[in-house]
Amino acid sequence: MTQDELKALVGRAAVEHVVPGAVVGVGTGSTVNCFIDELAKIKDRIAGAVSSSQKSTERLQAHGIAVLDANQVDSLPVYIDGADEIDHGGHMIKGGGAALTREKIVADMAERFVCIADASKLVQTLGRFPLPVEVIPMASGLVSRRLRALGGQPRVREGVVTDNGNVILDVTGLEIRDPAAMESDINNWPGVVTVGIFARNRAKVCLLGTPEGVRRLD
Ligand code: 5RP
């Protein structure tokens, strides 16, 4: 099976995790696009969606799915999103699509994060995928120096301005042995909007697409 077929497989499987009658939190990326296309088939059975990016909003609306402002919604039973890397504890690196800040907000609103990914995203230790950090533009030099002091090599992602008007630093060379500690450390630096480590908001369930079918990690 191709990677796209594996993404389609978990996109379909994720629909079973949508709570009928409720609002669903929707992530961003090519795997989530497969999920959105499946969600469209049951759109009359949900109360709408809270979206984590302009791109997902456009796709949801193109299917006629109501997109609600996050501030109109008190809680979400479930948030469904992809990942760039996920470990066996459900900790993730996210932000390959530059949507990490809104993804973390919607994930935090939700009771349950269901991660959907093809099996290539499962790793023993996070860090091979460059860690995205969303930064206020005037702080990119300061934050880059601090990331270098941690042993990473940051690079500004060229041509990318986030939905929030900020830049992304992609950091290679980090071995993330304690995701929760590194998440809270980097998040505390002035100028950092969001670091793409999802440890506090880790996945409760991961649906992994494999050639043998959907493998579920709890
Ligand atoms: C976007 C993300 C995505 O979930 C992540 O990049 C995975 O994307 P894809 O499903 O296209 O592999 O974090 O900011």
Q: Would you name the residues annotated as active-site residues?
A: 103
Is 29 known as a binding-site position? yes
Is 97 known as a binding-site position? yes
**What is the Cα–Cα distance from 114 to 6, expressed in whole angstroms?**
16
User: Can you give the pLDDT at residue 75?
Assistant: 84
**Order of strands, edge to edge, in the sheet holding 131-135?**
153-156, 167-172, 131-135, 192-195
- In this model, does residue 148 exceed pLDDT 90? yes
ipTM over 0.95? The verdict is yes
DSSP 61-103: HHTT--B--GGG-S-BS-EEE--SEE-TTS-EE--TTS-HHHH
**What is the Cα–Cα distance from 27 to 53, expressed in whole angstroms?**
7
pTM of the model: 0.94
Q: Measured in angstroms, how far is the CA atom of residue 99 from the centroid of ligand 1?
A: 8
Q: What is residue 52's DSSP assignment? A: S
**What is the Cα–Cα distance from 173 to 193, expressed in whole angstroms?**
21
Q: What is the pLDDT of residues 107-139, one digit of tens each?
A: 999 999 999 999 999 999 999 999 999 999 999
Minimum CA distance residue for ligand 1 atom 6:
96
